[in-house]
Amino acid sequence: MPIHRQLPPLLGLRTSWAKTKLQNLGSGPSPTGLQIDGNSVESVDSFVYLGSLQKSEDNSRSDIKRRISLAASVMSLSRIWRDKILQLSTKIRLYQALVMSVLLYAAETWTLLSCDEKTLEAFYMKCQRQILHIQYTGLSMSQMQKYPLVPAYHLLWTSSEDVVCQYSAT
């Protein structure tokens, strides 16, 4: 008897054949499917695993776009960002805890291209303008330079206290 049939019952495990998928991660044609012990395994080009979109292609663009849309739905808490009682430091901490954690989940697996960095930077700038109540259309380039926005990639290695200090310095 093969080991894949002997060991799992001893550990209290069983294979869910409906959830088992086959994905081609290399080059060449994608396999049509597979039969294991009379169970058919479906071949797929992409699937969501632990909240991250896994694709057969090399780039991470689709997962980045998916993460941005999930983070944008969290960013829609406009009552918090418009609140005049909450201090800016509190809003930034909320932003890092709620939005950035959703955006950067599984980011260590991404293969970033320059266009992906620009997309992330654009989303980050949009969020910062919303928190600071800055209308994008109403500002000239010289006016935009008055607001010290921290680049999105910088927040990966920066504590919220450093970001708050940079904002309160203006």
Which of 11-15, 64-68, 112-116 has the largest mean confidence?
Answer: 64-68
Count of the separate structural domains present in the chain: 2
Average pLDDT, the chain: 76
Indicate if 15 and 77 belong to the same structural domain.
no
What is the reported pLDDT for 135?
74
The arithmetic mean of pLDDT across residues 42-52, rounded, is: 79
Residue 1: predicted pLDDT = 57
Indicate the burial class of 163 (C-beta count within 10 angstroms; 0-12, 13-18, 19 or more).
buried
pLDDT average, residue stretch 73-97 = 89
Tell whether 143 and 93 lie within a shared domain. yes
The yes-or-no verdict on residue 103 having pLDDT over 50 is yes
**Domain check: are 111 and 65 in the same one?**
yes
Residue 114 is assigned to a structural domain of this protein: yes
> How many CB atoms neighbour CB 77 within 10 A?
15
Mean pLDDT calculated for residue range 154-158: 43
Query: Domain for residue 52, yes or no?
Result: no
Structure token digits, residue 3: 């080991």
Residues 99 and 157 placed together within one structural domain of the fold: yes
Domain span at residue 11 reads: 3-44
